[in-house]
Amino acid sequence: MTDIILSAQGLVRRFTARKPLFGTPSVVQAVSDVTLDVRRGETLAIVGESGCGKSTLARLLTRLLAPSEGAVVYDGRDIASLSDTEMRTLRRDMQFIFQDPFSSLNPRMTVGALIEEPLRIHRMGSAPERRAKVADLLRKVGLRPEHADRFPHEFSGGQRQRIGIARALATGPRIVVGDEPVSALDVSIQAQVVNILEDLKEELGLTLVIIAHDLAVIRHISDRVAVMYLGEIVELGDAAALFEKPAHPYTETLLSAIPIPATGARKARSLVDGDPPNPISPPPGCRFHTRCPYAQARCRSERPGLRTLAPDRQVACHFAEDLSLAGVDATMAARPAAAERRFAVYSNARANMTGAETNKTKLPTEE
User: Rounded CA gap, 253 and 258, in Å?
Assistant: 9
- Main-chain dihedrals φ then ψ at residue 176, nearest 5 degrees: -125, 130
Contact call for residue 189 and other proteins (CB under 8 A): yes
Is residue 364 near other proteins by the rule CB under 8 A? yes
- Helix, coil or strand: residue 182: coil
Judged by CB under 8 A, the stretch of 19-27, 93-101, 215-223, 259-267 that binds other proteins is: 93-101
Check residue 323 for interaction with other proteins (CB under 8 A).
Answer: no
Could you give the CA distance from residue 1 to residue 90 in angstroms, rounded to a whole number?
A: 25
H or E element at residue 240:
helix 239-244
Q: How far is the CB of 194 from other proteins (least distance, A)?
A: 12
Residues that contact other proteins, how many (by CB under 8 A): 56
Among 39, 91, 131, 220, binds other proteins (CB under 8 A): 91
DSSP-based three-state secondary structure for 3: coil
Answer for which of 32, 95, 251, 256 binds other proteins (CB under 8 A) is 95
**Of 265 and 363, which CB lies nearer to other proteins in the complex structure?**
363
The answer to whether residues 58 and 211 touch, using CB atoms and an 8 Å cutoff, is: yes
Interface map 102-121 toward other proteins (x if CB under 8 A): -xxxxxxx-------xx--x
Residue 82 sits in the site that holds other proteins (CB under 8 A) = no
Angle at CA 261, nearest 5°, toward 255 and 262?
Answer: 110
- Calculate the alpha carbon distances from 307 to 125, 247, 331, 361 in Å: 47, 11, 30, 55
Residues 241 and 247: their CA atoms lie apart, in Å, by 10
Compute CA distances 27 → 145, 281, 303, whole Å. Answer: 48, 9, 20
Among 74, 98, 250, 288, binds other proteins (CB under 8 A): 98
310 touches other proteins by CB under 8 A: no
* Residue 92 is a binding residue for other proteins (CB under 8 A): yes
**278 close to 258: Cβ distance less than 8 angstroms:** no
Q: Which of 134, 143, 197, 333 binds other proteins (CB under 8 A)?
A: 143
* 27 belongs to the binding site for other proteins (CB under 8 A): no
Which helix (H) or strand (E) element contains residue 212?
strand 207-212
Q: Which is nearer to other proteins, 56 or 314 (CB)?
A: 56
From 10, 8, 7, select the one nearest 29 (Cα to Cα).
Answer: 10
Contact region for other proteins (CB under 8 A) — 8-16, 25-33, 95-103, 250-258? 95-103
Binding residues for other proteins, per CB under 8 A? 62, 64, 87-92, 95-96, 98-100, 103-109, 117-118, 121-122, 142-144, 146-147, 149, 151, 153, 156, 158-159, 164, 167-168, 170-171, 188-189, 191-192, 196, 342, 345-346, 349-350, 353, 356, 363-366
